[in-house]
Amino acid sequence: MPHGNTATSPPNKTAILATILISYVMIVLDISVVLTGLPKIHTELGFSDAGLAWVQSAYTLTFGGFLLLGARAGDILGRRRMFIIGMTIFTIASVAIGASQSSAWMLSWRAVQGLGSAILAPTTLALLQTSFDEGEERVRAVSLYSAAAGVSATVGLVVGGLLADWLSWRIGFLINLPIGIAMVIAARIYIHETDKRPGAFDLPGAVTSTLGMGAFVYGFIRSAQAGWDTATFATIAAAIIMLCAFVLIERRASQPILPLRLFSDMERSGAYAGRALYISAMVGFFFFTTLYLQQVAGLRPALAGLAFVPATMLHVPIAIIVPRLIRRFGHNTILITGMLIGIVAMAWLSRAGVGSNYWTAVAMPMILIGISQGLTLSPLTSSGVARVAREEAGAASGAVNVAHQIGSSVGLGILIAIAANGSSGLSGADLTAYRVSHAFNTGTVMLVATLLISLFTIVPAARRQALSQEEAAPAKCAA
């Protein structure tokens, strides 16, 4: 059997891709698997209503805050090593969460699990770049990677609801133990260690980026719970100061944790901004649709989870054929089409209210959501790592994941805050329906902004790249 430690052995790309995809599925799945199980977690562990929000927030804070450090660690210490370390931390934390007997214990280990994800997520994407050749092979791998992310989010809701109703919400975390062990073994066997870059960590950059991201996310989450009081403004101001300091440090650092030259490319910059906005809208879709199905439509957790199946019906097949669609119609056409479908779907969902028919008000726009995600996420990921030098693959993948996490955490906080505006005097199902409608209206605006950013950044940059390749082809043939 070939062993990953043998540098001369040919890489088993199928095994490498399977290891990367399964690992990434674990990360995304644990973000959504708890949502439909939150009522049971609330009762079993004695959470307060406000404290329950931290089941997600404790994870997203450490996930988003340590992403850049995790990406940089892979560049310096070796990506296979960091993959194994990240998976080990994630797996141990998952088992501890599954064994939780108190709210404090669960939140502490959710934070540790977020740290493991922060190491693991950018490492998986960086390994994808370094293990697969640029061109059709990498496009196919990235498409499967994007499909895994989108499907896992929805599958997590379905599985979480079924487990909460029929067995226990704890199973969703405990199952990570055998899978995590298998992934560590697979990494040691099949994944070659990447070249290590000499040098020290950019510790000032790591500290300011981690604290700045953490404070920024915390500030918006707090605003949704306590309003824009003095403490919230102070937290946001501190976050801005630390992030500005981070930019200044990165400009002067000899080995920055996030090379600012990544943003010199218009396509990559547009992809980062577009991804943050797109994911903001999509995480809002999952969160607020869950509330609608249980608190307005009156479904039990298991049925609420199954009600998300329409969102996955076409997501996987669409994501899998995206490489062929891109070859036939072009990167820009597929990206813009996916965004337009998402705008229609989100606007449609905003019309759902008390007494609405599930099939026409929720299920049909859900199908469009799945199609949009299948068409959009892969091109956004490809644009986020376009024309990146091999030695900076980890930094670029870290930037992609940071954009994703900003959308997942800050975006949700913004949607929750906006959804609460003007809802005084309402209660019960009417209150939830009002907030859900407002959240989806805001999500529609976010998707329109994503479309505009793409039209002015990604589309022209990708068009120039395609033209330059066409011009270079005849010259290469003549040579």
Amino acid 64: pLDDT: 74
- Mean pLDDT for all residues in the chain: 82
Q: Residue 232: is its pLDDT beyond 70?
A: yes
- Estimate to the nearest angstrom the gap between the alpha carbon of 185 and the chain centroid: 25
CATH of the domain at 144: 1.20.1250.20
Are both 421 and 454 inside the same structural domain? yes
What digits encode the pLDDT tens for the residues 40-78? 787 788 776 556 667 877 887 788 778 777 877 887 888
Mean pLDDT of 237-249: 92
Are both 269 and 251 inside the same structural domain? no
| Number of domains within the chain | 2
This prediction has a pTM of 0.79
Are both 175 and 241 inside the same structural domain? no
Amino acid 215: pLDDT: 83
Question: When comparing pLDDT for 20 and 345, which is higher?
Answer: 345
Choose the final residue of a domain: 237, 256, 275.
256
Are both 337 and 445 inside the same structural domain? yes
Look at 168-172, 240-244, 342-346, 358-362 and tell me which has the smallest mean pLDDT.
168-172
Amino acid 2: pLDDT: 45
Q: Residue 367: is its pLDDT beyond 90?
A: yes
Are both 292 and 341 inside the same structural domain? yes
Are both 297 and 251 inside the same structural domain? no
What digits encode the pLDDT tens for the residues 434-469? 989 999 999 999 999 999 999 999 988 867 766 666
3-state secondary structure the chain: CCCCCCCCCCCCHHHHHHHHHHHHHHHHHHHHCCHHHHHHHHHHHCCCHHHHCHHHHHHHHHHHHHHHHHHHHHHHHCHHHHHHHHHHHHHHHHHHHHCCCCHHHHHHHHHHHHHHHHHHHHHHHHHHHHHCCCCHHHHHHHHHHHHHHHHHHHHHHHHHHHHHHHCCCCHHHHCHHHHHHHHHHHHHHHCCCCCCCCCCCCHHHHHHHHHHHHHHHHHHHHHHHHCCCHHHHHHHHHHHHHHHHHHHHHHHCCCCCCCHHHHHCHHHHHHHHHHHHHHHHHHHHHHHHHHHHHHHCCCCHHHHHHCCHHHCCCHHHHHHHHHHHHHHHCHHHHHHHHHHHHHHHHHHHCCCCCCCCHHHHHHHHHHHHHHHHHHHHHHHHHHHCCCCCHHHHHHHHHHHHHHHHHHHHHHHHHHHHHHHCCCCCCCHHHHHHHHHHHHHHHHHHHHHHHHHHHHHCHHHHHHHHHHHHHHHHHHHHHC
Are both 124 and 250 inside the same structural domain? no
Q: Residue 225: is its pLDDT beyond 80?
A: no
Amino acid 330: pLDDT: 86
Q: Residue 93: is its pLDDT beyond 90?
A: yes
Choose the final residue of a domain: 212, 238, 256.
256
User: Is the residue at 25 inside a domain?
Assistant: yes
User: Is the residue at 57 inside a domain?
Assistant: yes
User: Is the residue at 1 inside a domain?
Assistant: no
User: Is the residue at 242 inside a domain?
Assistant: yes
How much is the CA Rg of the chain, to the nearest whole Å?
A: 22
Amino acid 312: pLDDT: 77
Which domain does 222 fall in, by range? 202-256
Q: Residue 349: is its pLDDT beyond 80?
A: yes
Are both 210 and 187 inside the same structural domain? no
User: Is the residue at 175 inside a domain?
Assistant: yes
Q: Residue 205: is its pLDDT beyond 50?
A: yes
What digits encode the pLDDT tens for the residues 259-315? 888 888 888 999 999 999 999 999 889 888 888 988 899 888 888 888 888 887 777
Are both 251 and 265 inside the same structural domain? no
Are both 247 and 345 inside the same structural domain? no
Q: Residue 413: is its pLDDT beyond 50?
A: yes
Q: Residue 1: is its pLDDT beyond 50?
A: no
Question: When comparing pLDDT for 288 and 408, which is higher?
Answer: 288
User: Is the residue at 292 inside a domain?
Assistant: yes
Amino acid 281: pLDDT: 93
Confidence of residue 8 (pLDDT cuts 50, 70, 90): low
Are both 239 and 165 inside the same structural domain? no
Mean pLDDT of 90-117: 92
Mean pLDDT of 200-205: 76
Q: Both tokens of residue 454?
A: 């793409």
Are both 69 and 211 inside the same structural domain? no
Amino acid 471: pLDDT: 58
